[in-house]
Amino acid sequence: MLEKVPLEALNPTPVLEVREVISAVMAALHRSNQDSPKELYGFEVAMRFLAPTHAAKLRRAKPGGFARYLRQPHKIGQIDWGEYRYEGDTVYLTSDAGVAEAYQMCSMRPSPSSKWMSTRWKLVQVETDYGETVTRPQWMVEAVYSGEPDTPEDIEFLRTHQVEGGRSGTEAAVESPRRVVMDVMSALRNMNEPYALHGAVVATRYCSPRNRASELSPEVFAKYLDDPWYSILTEWVEMEDDDDEFMLDDYLRGSAEVEVLVKRDGDEEFTMVSWDLSLFDGQWLINSLNIIS
């Protein structure tokens, strides 16, 4: 069992499932392990499980920098936890680039009398070289979305740690708020392509920890769309989009609103769908939407 593995022996391997990887990182970051047997050792172990596309790896952060990042008030729950629990099932998805992704909601708190803090973990499968031309995929952590979105201080921290090319890794990889909305709306409009409930899987992928829909299975999420109020999301045939460019002010503010006009076949007027998004760990995620007829 993973619980019986000594901290120094914790390493990512192809045999570990998604929740086992999360448990390993949580164990490494527990306050009892952070500085034992040496200072910052727990952060060092946790970083073994970070994917190359994790913001800390893109910035080439050291354990000390990773520790400072996690000690910020809205992230400290990840290293100050006393107990944690998984919320809902693990959601699996293959990205457009063919990368296997997994999403898992997790709540944690420092003590039984404390409030639960919600986090959403994103893991990706990384092909790892095991020698003699043998590679095997293993789950690694790409991001942990805390219940609170990024602050301007977070973003400035990321922007001032440069990598090759003069741009921070997080900025270079981030999708714009409008791109996220377009991806979700397109997926919902083609709900069962290329496989059953794919649209619901994509939509829940982009839900923030603030959005209760992030805890739903694709099957349950899809049932909500049967409601006449939400059905426009799966039935629209025409869209008007002003195609605003991604604004730096949005990135610095850490929040954005995207409005899209859509129409069903036979409708005389367009319906507005307004999306509220925030920046979580370098990724724009959806907090809520509002449909205005």
| pLDDT averaged per 10 residues, the chain (length 293) | 69 93 95 92 95 86 88 90 92 83 93 92 88 79 88 55 39 73 95 92 91 88 90 93 60 81 92 93 91 89
Q: What pLDDT is stored for residue 94 in this prediction?
A: 84
pLDDT by residue (tens digit) across 254-290? 789 999 999 999 898 999 999 999 988 878 999 999 9
Q: What pLDDT is stored for residue 170 in this prediction?
A: 39
pLDDT by residue (tens digit) across 143-174? 999 878 877 666 555 444 443 333 333 344 46
For residue 238, CA distances in Å to 142, 234, 268, 272 come to 35, 12, 12, 12
Q: What pLDDT is stored for residue 285 in this prediction?
A: 94
Q: What pLDDT is stored for residue 65 in this prediction?
A: 87
Q: What pLDDT is stored for residue 3 in this prediction?
A: 53
| Domains, the chain, with CATH or none | 2-148 (3.10.450), 173-292 (3.10.450)
Query: Which bin fits 189, alpha (ψ -120 to 50), beta or left (φ > 0)?
Result: alpha
Q: What pLDDT is stored for residue 217 in this prediction?
A: 86
Q: What pLDDT is stored for residue 163 in this prediction?
A: 37
Q: What pLDDT is stored for residue 166 in this prediction?
A: 38
Q: What pLDDT is stored for residue 4 in this prediction?
A: 58
